[in-house]
Structure 1
Amino acid sequence: MTDPTAQPLYQRDPAAWRAHLAEGNARQARKRVGVDALIRDHHGRVLLVDPTYKPNWDMPGGMAEANEPPIDALQRELAEELGLQLPEGMALVCLDWVAPHGPWDDSLMLIFDAGTLTAQQTAALHLADTELGAFEFCTPQQAQQRLRSYVWARLHAAIAAADTGRTAYLHNGNPLRA
């Protein structure tokens, strides 16, 4: 029988409660978080980048660092790689859970809608570090040809979500069936 006058552990011993939470945190799964930006030009083309460390083109963005908010990671990656400064307030348009594969554990891949760049912003884009070999605005058809199939599926879902004002939720690049 439970003692009705007993206080919960977090009220009786705050230090023990913090230790309990820390122990749970140490055993819980950690996920990698990737962040990409859906960036368009005034023709409706999407910005793609050609990383020097992998075989295919990709969306601009990268991986979040430990304890870094996803939007901050995206801002950092865009500035580091393309010299691009975008205002806060980008909307999340796609979340893709990626199952473990090869040496990788599962991850969460987020795409934020960074909107349409002005002519001035487009002209100011430049390769700001050696991780990228090139960048280019591409039609959706060109993007589909350059991207790995699962990245194209993610980008395609993000474009549709941005155009409809919704957020896409995917598993391995595939929408969940309702």
Structure 2
Amino acid sequence: MNNPDPRPLYERDPAAYRARLAEGNARQARKRVAADALIRDEHGRVLLVDPTYKPAWDLPGGMAEANEPPLDALRRELVEELGLDLPAARMALVCVDWVAPHGPWDDSLMMIFNGGTLTTDQTAALQLADSELAAFEFCTHDQVKARLRPYVWARLSAAVTAADIGTVAYLHNGHPAT
């Protein structure tokens, strides 16, 4: 009579268990992840950037690379594009927006971290350090609303509110998840 080993697969055959996990991982969905920064100057204006590869202004930040943590991606992008190195400990997550598939894009997770308020010296040290940006500017509320695409404006508005009250906004396509 055949008496199979009653132990779970991870105990009786660790290599087979790892292979099963790898097979499942290969079939699971992948998501694009982006991390942007809410950065203000001493007058409360919000830092926007004008990307050369998009038709509208945006928040500083960008897409995470494969296996790169979102906060690391954001810090890398800030250094690459503006020469701005902010400590990770200073940057709190204030918004996560799940964006449904649209156009050629699969769904994605868009995050905004609060980069705080820059000092006058930090603001003066900002520079275009990458050809991906044509300009950057600290903008008033009305300027920000006029320059951002509506869904980015909705995401930023939720992030500003969350930052001001010390919470995190969770959105679906720029709107509070219900």
Q: TM-score, normalised by structure 2?
A: 0.96
List alignment gaps of at least 5 residues for structure 2.
Answer: none
For residues 146 and 125 of structure 2, the distance between their equivalents in structure 1, rounded to whole angstroms, comes to: 26
Instruction: State the AA in 2 paired with 1:171.
Output: H
Once residues 86 and 174 of structure 1 are traced to their aligned partners in structure 2, the CA distance between those partners, rounded to angstroms, is 28
Residues 53-87 of structure 1 deviation map (CA, whole Å, 9 limit, x = unaligned): 01000000000000001110001000000000001
The 5 Å alignment of 1:148-167 reads 148-167=149-168
Q: Which of structure 1's runs of 4+ aligned residues deviate more than 2 A?
A: none
Using the aligned pairs only, state the percent identity: 76
- Return the offset for 1:139: 1.1
Q: Secondary structure at the residue paired with 2:47?
A: strand
Task: Tell me how far 1:5 sits from its aligned partner.
Answer: 6.8
The residue that corresponds to 2:112 in the other structure is 111
CA distance in 1, matches of 2:145, 2:17: 51
**Structure 1 stretches of 5 or more lacking a match?**
none
Deviation at 1:28, TM superposition (A): 0.1
> CA–CA distance in 2 between the matches of 1:164 and 1:171?
20
SS, match of residue 128 in structure 2: coil
CA–CA distance in 2 between the matches of 1:91 and 1:118? 18
AA at the equivalent of 1:134:
A
CA positional deviation for 1:141: 1.3
Alignment-derived partner of residue 85 in structure 1: 85
Q: 3-state DSSP class of the match of 1:135?
A: strand
* Conservation of the 8 A alpha-carbon contact between 2:5 and 2:12: no
TM-score computed with the length of structure 1 as normaliser: 0.96
The correspondence of residues 48-127 of structure 1 with structure 2, limited to 5 A, is: 48-89=48-89, 90-127=91-128
Distance 1:27 1:109, change over 3 A: same
CA distance in 2, matches of 1:91, 1:31: 22
Describe the SS at the equivalent of 1:92: strand
Cα distance between partner residues in 1 of 2:69 and 2:177: 26
Using the TM superposition, name which of 26-35 and 4-13 deviates more: 4-13
Report if aligned partners of 2:50, 2:58 keep a CA contact under 8 Å in 1: yes
Match of 1:13 in 2: 13
**Farther-moved stretch of structure 1 (159-168 vs 3-12):** 3-12
**What code does the residue aligned with 2:117 have?**
T
CA deviations 1:98-147 (Å, max 9, x no partner) are 00000000000000000000111000000001000000001111100000
Number of aligned residue pairs: 175
Task: Tell me, in whole angstroms, the C-alpha distance in 1 between the residues paired with 2:87 and 2:141.
Answer: 25
Instruction: Please give the alpha-carbon distance, in whole angstroms, between the structure 2 residues aligned to 1:169 and 1:36.
Output: 15
